[in-house]
């Protein structure tokens, strides 16, 4: 089907009709033609999609600024409308970290979308483009969280941008988009769940991967191994916890019937980290032979067991065995031993959350928290933010009834957002709707880190599978995945919708997807 090329004449000035957004006032609109745009968008940052080559695309770039009267905010939505190559569809892209969008990851995503003919968009929710440091907006003053900014980030900007861009599309092409889709991971995954829960008719299909759908639980749990080490007053070398992970992988790898360097059957892996204490190994930190300490085993055990209160109550899921625990920026159990004395190296995402949103004081030294103080901060965050920020409502009946389709993946080696949270949500939806698989499917990915990375490959076909489900009624019973094994050989596998797992048939090459099937 041929779609309108777009009216390029209205992209040269402020010729679009002013979008009407309930509760908002449009402050400004600017537009310009971008000609012959080319880029390569790698799958490692184009979550949910393959690597895309963008070749000489021309599009109309529209920037809309709005405010919500009385709130003194300034929210920017950016839309890219392809000229001559539109496929008749809209693809919204989600943010990362503490941003709603208009940062590096969403910009790459928009480039990939425009390269495939989609009209596309992102919003900054009025927060700017720093994906990690919310210091510029989190607090209006010490002790006072900017709840207006949080509300914009959580949900309101998602509604506003969709209404705005659909209005622009109508003006530019003379017709509404045939289908509207959302693609996101992490923060973008949380946004996808919010859209399905609160705005069930805005999008026909949503990919909401590795979602941070319980902010307080997720961001606090990222700090949990650091708190554990702070309370112990000791910090193991990163090589020690890495060696424990290596041993766990070697022990649990064969449980699925194939030895390939991945723990695919995490439910059957009950590897005991304390069994490694005293083992000798080569430490990359020191360039010498070391022995695994009891402390390292306790840190690994705490990371796998999950965040707990001072009374032993489990507060959130732990990461899975096989997850890299020591990596800078993502490893929750990371330490810095560069000076010869190891100290904690916490993820700044967790530090920002606890300082600015729980303690509400940028100057507080959270490394000095007692376990009881941590408990009180966590509990206060639950009361303040659960209804405001959590994308946890399991009632998706309105989205289901509207014909929406929802897909998600979650890496089983995700060091930032434990995959147990995605299982928890899927199970909660299932408890309310026993036909959940008719519209929502979750795929767990062995060896995959947070959205990308790791050793198990990425499900780059998940967005296209969602579109086929929406438009053709083709439900994805499996997803293809490919990774390079430790021997350098290419492995083709399948992913199965949770709770099913991919099982080796017992015959055929283990590197071929045809040698696997889905079973419980």
Domain ranges of the chain: 1-173, 178-213+391-484+493-499, 217-387
Whole-angstrom distance, CA of residue 188 vs CA of residue 203? 14
Whole-angstrom distance, CA of residue 470 vs CA of residue 170? 22
Query: Residue length, the chain?
Result: 520
Low-confidence ranges of the chain (pLDDT < 50): 329
CATH 3.40.50.2300 fits 178-213+391-484+493-499, yes or no: no
What integer pLDDT is reported at residue 330 of this predicted model? 60
CB atoms within 10 A of CB 394: 17
What integer pLDDT is reported at residue 488 of this predicted model? 85
What integer pLDDT is reported at residue 285 of this predicted model? 84
What integer pLDDT is reported at residue 391 of this predicted model? 93
- The string of pLDDT tens digits covering residues 41-65 is 999 999 999 999 999 999 999 999 9
Terminal CA-to-CA distance of the chain, rounded, Å? Answer: 41
What integer pLDDT is reported at residue 478 of this predicted model? 98
Instruction: Please give the DSSP secondary-structure letter assigned to residue 261.
Output: S
What integer pLDDT is reported at residue 477 of this predicted model? 97
pTM of the predicted structure, to 2 decimals? 0.96
What integer pLDDT is reported at residue 2 of this predicted model? 81
- How far from 218 is each of 214, 278, 386, CA to CA, in Å? 6, 33, 12
Q: What are phi and psi of 151, to 5 degrees?
A: -65, -40
E strands in 146-192: 179-185
What integer pLDDT is reported at residue 24 of this predicted model? 97
What are 497's strand-pairing partners? Answer: 443
What integer pLDDT is reported at residue 383 of this predicted model? 92
What integer pLDDT is reported at residue 328 of this predicted model? 52
What integer pLDDT is reported at residue 340 of this predicted model? 87
Active site residues: 186, 414, 450
């Amino acid at each position: 089907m041929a779609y309108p090329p777009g009216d390029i004449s209205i992209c040269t000035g402020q010729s679009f009709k002013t979008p009407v957004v309930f509760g908002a006032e449009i402050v400004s609109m600017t537009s310009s033609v971008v000609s012959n745009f080319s880029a390569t968008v790698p799958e490692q940052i184009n979550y949910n999609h393959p690597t895309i080559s963008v070749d000489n695309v021309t599009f109309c770039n529209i920037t809309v600024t709005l405010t919500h009267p009385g709130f003194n905010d300034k929210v920017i939505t950016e839309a890219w409308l392809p000229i001559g190559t539109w496929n008749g569809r809209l693809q919204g892209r989600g943010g990362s970290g503490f941003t709603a969008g208009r940062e590096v990851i969403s910009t790459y995503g928009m480039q990939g979308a425009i390269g495939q003919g989609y009209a596309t968009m992102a919003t900054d929710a009025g927060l700017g483009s720093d994906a990690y440091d919310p210091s510029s907006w989190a607090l209006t003053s010490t002790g006072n969280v900017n709840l207006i900014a949080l509300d914009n980030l959580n949900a309101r900007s998602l509604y506003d941008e969709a209404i705005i861009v659909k209005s622009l599309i109508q003006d530019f092409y003379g017709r509404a988009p045939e289908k509207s889709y959302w693609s996101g991971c992490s923060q973008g995954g949380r946004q996808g769940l919010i859209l399905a829960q609160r705005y069930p008719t805005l999008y026909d299909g949503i990919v909401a991967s590795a979602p941070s759908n319980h902010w307080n639980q997720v961001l606090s749990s990222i700090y949990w191994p650091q708190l554990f080490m702070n309370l112990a007053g000791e910090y193991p070398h990163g090589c020690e916890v890495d060696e424990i992970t290596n041993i766990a992988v070697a022990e649990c790898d064969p449980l699925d019937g194939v030895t390939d360097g991945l723990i695919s059957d995490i439910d059957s892996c009950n590897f005991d980290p304390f069994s490694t204490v005293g083992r000798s190994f080569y430490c990359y930190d020191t360039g010498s032979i070391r022995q695994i300490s009891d402390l390292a085993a306790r840190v690994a055990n705490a990371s796998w067991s999950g965040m707990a209160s001072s009374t032993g109550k489990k507060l959130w899921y732990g990461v899975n065995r096989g997850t890299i625990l020591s990596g800078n920026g993502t490893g929750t159990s990371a330490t810095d031993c560069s000076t010869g004395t190891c100290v904690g190296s916490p993820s700044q995402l967790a530090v920002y959350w606890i300082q600015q949103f729980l303690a509400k004081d940028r100057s507080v030294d959270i490394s000095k928290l007692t376990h009881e103080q941590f408990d009180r901060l966590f509990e206060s965050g639950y009361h303040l933010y659960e209804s405001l920020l959590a994308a946890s409502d399991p009632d998706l009946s309105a989205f289901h009834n509207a014909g929406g389709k929802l897909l998600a993946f979650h890496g089983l080696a995700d060091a930032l957002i434990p995959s147990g949270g995605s299982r928890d949500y899927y199970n909660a939806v299932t408890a309310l709707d026993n036909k959940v698989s008719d519209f929502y499917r979750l795929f767990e990915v062995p060896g995959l880190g947070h959205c990308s990375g790791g050793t198990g490959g990425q499900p780059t076909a998940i967005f296209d599978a969602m579109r086929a489900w929406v438009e053709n009624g083709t439900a994805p019973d499996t997803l293809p995945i490919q990774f390079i094994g430790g021997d350098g050989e290419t492995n083709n596998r399948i992913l199965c919708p949770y709770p099913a797992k991919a099982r080796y048939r017992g015959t055929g090459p283990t590197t071929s997807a045809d040698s696997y099937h889905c079973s419980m």
